[in-house]
Amino acid sequence: MAVSPQFVRGSSSAFLTCLLLFTTFVSVSVVAGENNGTWGDTSRVSQVAEKKGEEVADSSVTHDQSNSSEHKKVFPVLSFNYDHVRTPFEISLWILLALLMKLGFHIIPRVSNVVPESCLLIVVGLLVGGIIKAIGEEAPVLDSKLFFLYLLPPIILDAGYFLPIRHFMENMGTILVFAVVGTLWNAFFVGGMMYAVCQIEGAQLGNVDLLSCLLFGSIISAVDPVAVLAVFEEIHINELLHILVFGESLLNDAVTVVLYHLFEEFSHAGTVTIVDALLGVVCFLVVSLGGILVGFFYGILGAFTSRFTSHTRVIEPLFVFLYSYMAYLSAEVFHLSGIMSLIACGVMMRPYVEANISHKSYTTIKYFLKMWSSVSETLIFIFLGVSTVAGPHAWNWTFVVFTVVICLVSRVLGVIGLTYVINKFRIVKLTKKDQFIVAYGGLRGAIAFSLGFLLTNSQMKNMFLTAIITVIFFTVFVQGMTIRPLVELLAVKKKKESKPSINEEIHTQFLDHLLTGIEDICGHYGHHHWKDKLNRFNKTYVKRLLIAGDRSTEPQLISFYNKLEMKQAMMLVESGSAAKLPTVVSSVSVQNIQPKDSSRRRAIPSISKSREQEIRKILRANLQKTRQRLRSYSRHDLMMDPFEDNLSEVRFRKQRVEMERRMSHYLTVPANRQEMTPVRKVCFEPEHKVFTYITDGESPKGQTSRPHPSSPDAVSLLHEDSQRDNQRSVLRAKGDTELRAKTPDNQEQQEQQEEEQVKLSRCLSDPGPNKDEEGDGSFHS
């Protein structure tokens, strides 16, 4: 980013002025909208009448008459009707504002390094709120319905869908203890202490009773996932801490929901009995387990639906989003925990959906989720700022100050106490540093605000809201800003920046089996035993049901390997050069590792030069043909834009060069190596390039069609059109025989292996556009 400072400053100041103008525009539009409200209907109707030139209902007639009595109506060339589009217009303006703000922060790197984005957004919200108030209009407040139904779900879905399952499950016990017991402790401690504070003479708080305090405590005690995400995302701490705090913020939703409803009911009723308390506990179980079940149900539905979407790839992402949203809404209907339902749905759905959908759909899902959650988060923080300025406040020094202090104290005490107990059961204990980060990372956010907003008792509501906002500001600003330097200072372990490694994956699986085996030998059914049982159940029953085609039987190691190869191939295309793969920065290549020791195959002579040339020529021709076929697809297939052709042409050429280089490399080594290359090659070819090789009518011109064992597979993998199935299988069969016929000088052994490869070497886990079009089972051994 070699931009000169002046330019940046100049452009950023220009940008900021534009931003300021924009915010004024936003406020003005809000004002204009307000004024339009009264005579909106009639004006719209008259508009319609004018457009259609027809006589309409009385109201318009009277309007017309009143108009015509003044002057002859002139046909309106240009008219202004803002009210018509008011709502979507304003919404879009707000979202645009939010995004422009986000953009602005990243242009000014200095600020965004010190201050977390959430803080900046709140400040912006404050500014906008201030402007609106200065104009004298009423600013929009963060409506709870808007928040809970529209702004919160995308963030939670994004978090749940990409939740690191392994870490989550390993630390489930700890997370649950923190979420349930910790939140309960916080709620009661804060509530109780605040009640004690309210008893202090001279604080004018005498009218706050115990139940209200407890209600307040339950609202303020929950760690907020939005705030935690916003801050922790930027500091990159190690996965354990991240999942602990984040998991806690997700799972405490059930506790919060129950406590909130409980205390609200009680504060209306006035008295509490033991039965009520017991019912509360039962309610908690129902809320949490019910939410999870609802989530699982929708997750399975979603996974099952995705099994059949191979013909309509374009709408696949929508299924994921809609089923998840339905899960959330369904849970909310019964007052179950919507957040837990959403998380459960995402977790349940993900492995199966990802096995079924195409690569493009996967990317779409990922980006849409990130996009929506980003927008939501930004909007939430801005609205929080605006609401702060707008809302009626009742500032009470004692109450607010004590709230902040007591919240902090209770969090610290809670974490320390619980860790002491938890460490007795954990293998990998939590150190003091970990505890500090967990305690410090307990940020409050918009959920607390919205819950406070829902309170009905207006007298104390304002005071509570003020206190809540203060706590939120304190945690987000003070704790959010200082957590990064503290993490550096305490030298907390950061997230590992490691690339996925095939060796690590092999050994992770190896370890799993090893530990399960050792547990079996030891004779007790531990953690690994049950995990293994679950995996086996999953493999034999669930996967078969929910995953399309034969990918259901693909072992995880192979999917991982194929995904890795695919990624490397993509990177190769992205880097656009004919150089080596970025990850392999060494000169080590396949031949370095092949055993030179004696085997029968050693005696095989290498391919003659002429043969090599022939193969190369065939390949070239083949690939060219592939290219031409692309244009004949129908509109509904996901294919490249014709405008992209030039660019991809260049890329394609580069890849071909690279591939040929590799080919030559492979071809010059003894023949027994060849069997490996097809499999590798298959996966190196990115999907958009290798399409139909099969053509309609252009029957295999003998030599030109099947030169190399890998091409039929590589191509057939990513085939789009289903009608060509039959042709393909015929062609393939022919190709096999031709192949065999064509290479008489190779060993029979090699042929056999090649035949096997033709069957076996499939990028099974590459969910290419029409992965499972290949209904024919001839390739499954």
Partner 1 sequence: MGASQTRSESVYQELMDKTGFSLEQIKNLKKRFLQLSGNEETISRENLDAIPALANNPIRKQIIEAFFDKRNQRSSEVGHLEEIGFEQFVMVMSHFRPPALRTSVEEREVMRKEKLQFLFNMHDTDNDGVITLVEYRKVVEELLSKSGAIGHEAARAIADAAMLEVASTNVPDMAPDDFYEGITFEHFEQILKGLEMESRMHIRFLDVDTSTMRCGKSTS
d(CA 683, CA 157): 31
Cross-strand bridge partners of residue 237: 494
Radius of gyration from C-alpha coordinates of the chain: 32
- Least spacing, CB of residue 182 vs partner 1, in Å: 21
d(CA 204, CA 396): 9
Task: Compare residues 331 and 667 and give the one whose CB is closer to partner 1.
Answer: 667
- Least spacing, CB of residue 568 vs partner 1, in Å: 10
Query: Are 355 and 550 spatial neighbours (Cβ–Cβ below 8 Å)?
Result: no
Query: Are 407 and 216 spatial neighbours (Cβ–Cβ below 8 Å)?
Result: no
- Least spacing, CB of residue 711 vs partner 1, in Å: 16
- Least spacing, CB of residue 517 vs partner 1, in Å: 4
**Coil, strand or helix at 203:** coil
d(CA 213, CA 207): 11
Task: Compare residues 78 and 593 and give the one whose CB is closer to partner 1.
Answer: 593
- Least spacing, CB of residue 170 vs partner 1, in Å: 10
**Coil, strand or helix at 524:** coil
Q: 61 is written with which tokens?
A: 């007639």
- Least spacing, CB of residue 761 vs partner 1, in Å: 6
Residue 442 neighbours by CB distance under 10 Å: 28
Task: Compare residues 276 and 751 and give the one whose CB is closer to partner 1.
Answer: 751
| Residues at the interface with partner 1 (CB under 8 A) | 423, 427-429, 496, 498, 501-504, 506-511, 513-529, 532, 536, 553-555, 557-558, 561, 564-565, 584-596, 675-676, 679-680, 753, 756-757, 760-761, 780-781
Task: Compare residues 2 and 593 and give the one whose CB is closer to partner 1.
Answer: 593
Query: Are 403 and 202 spatial neighbours (Cβ–Cβ below 8 Å)?
Result: no
Q: Give the relative orientation of helices 710-717 and 725-742 as an angle to the nearest 10 degrees.
A: 170
Burial 96-112 (b: 16+ CB within 10 A, else e): ebbebbbebbeeeeeeb
Name the DSSP class of 491. Answer: T
d(CA 204, CA 215): 19
Task: Compare residues 86 and 167 and give the one whose CB is closer to partner 1.
Answer: 167
- Least spacing, CB of residue 705 vs partner 1, in Å: 23
d(CA 463, CA 74): 56
Cross-strand bridge partners of residue 725: none
Task: Compare residues 417 and 582 and give the one whose CB is closer to partner 1.
Answer: 582
- Least spacing, CB of residue 223 vs partner 1, in Å: 26
Task: Compare residues 513 and 631 and give the one whose CB is closer to partner 1.
Answer: 513
d(CA 460, CA 573): 62
Query: Are 583 and 568 spatial neighbours (Cβ–Cβ below 8 Å)?
Result: yes
Task: Compare residues 275 and 588 and give the one whose CB is closer to partner 1.
Answer: 588
Residue 130 neighbours by CB distance under 10 Å: 17
- Least spacing, CB of residue 567 vs partner 1, in Å: 13
**Coil, strand or helix at 768:** coil
- What's at 755, amino acid-wise? E
Task: Compare residues 109 and 517 and give the one whose CB is closer to partner 1.
Answer: 517
- Least spacing, CB of residue 498 vs partner 1, in Å: 5
Closest CA to 744 of 601, 611, 609, 602: 611
Task: Compare residues 37 and 517 and give the one whose CB is closer to partner 1.
Answer: 517
CA triple 162-163-167, angle to 5 deg: 140
Task: Compare residues 250 and 679 and give the one whose CB is closer to partner 1.
Answer: 679
d(CA 659, CA 677): 11
- What's at 517, amino acid-wise? G
Residue in the structure block whose two tokens are 């390997």: 561
- Least spacing, CB of residue 504 vs partner 1, in Å: 6
Task: Compare residues 649 and 756 and give the one whose CB is closer to partner 1.
Answer: 756
Query: Are 30 and 12 spatial neighbours (Cβ–Cβ below 8 Å)?
Result: no
Name the DSSP class of 84. Answer: G
d(CA 401, CA 394): 13
- Least spacing, CB of residue 716 vs partner 1, in Å: 17
d(CA 225, CA 160): 11
Cross-strand bridge partners of residue 494: 237
Task: Compare residues 501 and 703 and give the one whose CB is closer to partner 1.
Answer: 501
- Least spacing, CB of residue 595 vs partner 1, in Å: 5
Closest CA to 217 of 252, 191, 182: 191
Does residue 308 come out as left (phi exceeding 0), alpha (psi in the -120 to 50 range) or beta?
A: alpha
- Least spacing, CB of residue 752 vs partner 1, in Å: 11
Q: 236 is written with which tokens?
A: 């990159």
Task: Compare residues 431 and 575 and give the one whose CB is closer to partner 1.
Answer: 431
- Least spacing, CB of residue 551 vs partner 1, in Å: 12
Task: Compare residues 371 and 511 and give the one whose CB is closer to partner 1.
Answer: 511
